[in-house]
């Protein structure tokens, strides 16, 4: 990235769409944040995303930083080569040609990439894991996702679907996951899973089960569960500690596979603070070999909620539609 160019990146999430215009050093010049509104259907979500991208391209133009490409990080599975979202659990897209549709709208090359892959690249280029090799990124939010950067390049797999860590089986015959499997990390440790456990607990309390302060929460999400656990509610505490134990197993498995220098954890669940990192570090220490865990650093995302959008902007620039990416060279 160089000169007075601008780079547009979009992070398409299950609850929010974040868009940024960045300069060549990853500094954010403008940003947009809109609710995804997944319940409104695929066309409406696409319209929101396209209008965010168009307004950032326009803002870049007005500021003399003409964006040359747009990168989009989206949950998979994807056909990244053709810019198609095949199917997603938390969004209404099925075989949706997001890349080609957005290219037609903006008149610019668009690169669709796995959101975990984009966030890993963002943290590798500009965030907590700058230059770390290998770097593994895990996001714990509405869903659970991940990515890895090895030798300066994102590990995409054949169809850009590598490190769909949310669908790693952690508990045979565990709770059903939206993907059709059972006992996935996402069904056990995501914000959605924690909210589902909280609702079950409130229903159980209503029919004579163990009382819980969660019953008086107007909204039931991970934030409320961690808050009530912190206030001493035993039911909330059990839900929180079980979810974090499974997240820890998920991260420990990744450490065993990749022997990474750094694991970066981002996503909304990190708002539960040091508690999440303590649980994950404990799992890694107790489950991985010392050779792997000894010098491994496990850090919160340095870019907060912007890892995905910044990484998508970089991937869009270095690997526009179909071109082979050359990030390793550009990053050094
Ligand atoms: Zn699954």
- Average pLDDT, integer, range 303-326: 75
Confidence of residue 324 (pLDDT cuts 50, 70, 90): very low
**Separation of alpha carbons 13 and 2, rounded Å:** 28
Identify the pLDDT of residue 90.
Answer: 79
Q: How far is ligand 1, taken at its centre, from the CA of residue 90, in Å? A: 12
Task: Tell me 288's DSSP state.
Answer: S
CA nearest to 271, candidates 250, 240, 242, 245: 240
Ligand 1 centroid, distance to 119 Cα (angstroms): 20
The residues near 99 (Cβ < 8 Å, ≥ 6 apart) are: 72, 82, 83, 84, 110, 111, 112, 321
Separation of 141 CA from ligand 1 center, angstroms? 14
Domains of the chain: 6-123+305-331 (3.30.420.40), 130-301 (3.30.420.40)
Say if CB 141 and CB 186 are below 8 A apart. no
Whole-number Å distance, alpha carbon 91 to ligand 1 midpoint, is 14
SS3 92: coil
Structure-block tokens of residue 165: 């860590």
Q: Which tens digits make up the pLDDT trace of 97-126?
A: 999 999 999 999 999 999 999 999 999 999
Ligand 1 center from residue 182 Cα (angstroms): 7
Mean pLDDT, rounded, for 245-264 = 98
pLDDT exceeds 50 at position 322: no
What pLDDT was estimated at residue 317? 79
pLDDT score, position 76: 82
| DSSP-assigned letters across all residues of 294-322 | SS-EEEE-TTGGGHHHHHHHHHHHHS-TT
pTM for the model: 0.90
Distance 193 CA to ligand 1 centre (A): 11
Q: What is the mean pLDDT of residues 292-311?
A: 95
pLDDT tens digits along 4-42: 889 999 999 988 999 999 998 899 999 999 999 999 999
Calculate how far, in angstroms, residue 184's C-alpha sits from the geometric centre of ligand 1: 5
């Amino acid at each position: 990235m160089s000169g007075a160019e601008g780079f547009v990146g979009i992070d398409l999430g299950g609850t929010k769409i974040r868009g940024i215009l960045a300069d060549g050093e990853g500094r954010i010049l403008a940003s947009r944040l809109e609710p995804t509104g997944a319940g409104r259907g695929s066309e409406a979500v696409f319209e929101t995303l396209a209008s965010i991208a168009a307004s950032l391209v326009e803002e870049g133009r007005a500021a003399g930083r003409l964006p040359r490409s747009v990168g989009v990080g989206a949950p998979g599975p994807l056909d990244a080569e053709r810019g198609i979202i095949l199917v997603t659990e938390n969004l209404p897209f099925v075989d949706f040609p997001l890349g080609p549709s957005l290219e037609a709208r903006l008149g610019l090359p668009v690169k669709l990439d796995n959101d975990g892959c984009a966030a890993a690249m963002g943290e590798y280029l500009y965030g907590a894991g700058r230059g770390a090799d290998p770097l593994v990124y895990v996001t714990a939010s509405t869903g659970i996702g991940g990515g890895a950067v090895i030798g300066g390049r994102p590990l995409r797999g054949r169809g850009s679907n590598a490190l769909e860590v949310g669908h790693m089986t952690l508990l045979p015959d565990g709770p059903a996951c939206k993907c059709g499997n059972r006992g996935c990390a996402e069904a056990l440790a995501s914000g959605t899973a924690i909210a589902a456990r909280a609702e079950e607990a409130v229903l159980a309390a209503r029919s004579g089960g163990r009382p819980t302060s969660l019953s008086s929460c107007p909204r039931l999400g991970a934030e409320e569960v961690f808050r009530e656990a912190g206030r001493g509610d035993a039911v909330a505490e059990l839900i929180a500690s079980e979810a974090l134990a499974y997240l820890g197993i998920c991260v420990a498995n990744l450490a065993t596979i990749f022997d990474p220098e750094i694991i970066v954890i981002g996503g909304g669940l990190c708002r539960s603070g040091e508690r999440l990192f303590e649980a994950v570090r404990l799992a890694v220490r107790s489950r991985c070999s010392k050779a792997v865990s000894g010098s491994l650093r496990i850090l919160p995302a340095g870019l907060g909620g912007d890892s995905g959008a910044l990484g998508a902007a970089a991937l869009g620039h270095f690997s526009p539609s179909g071109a082979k990416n050359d990030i390793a060279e550009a990053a050094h």
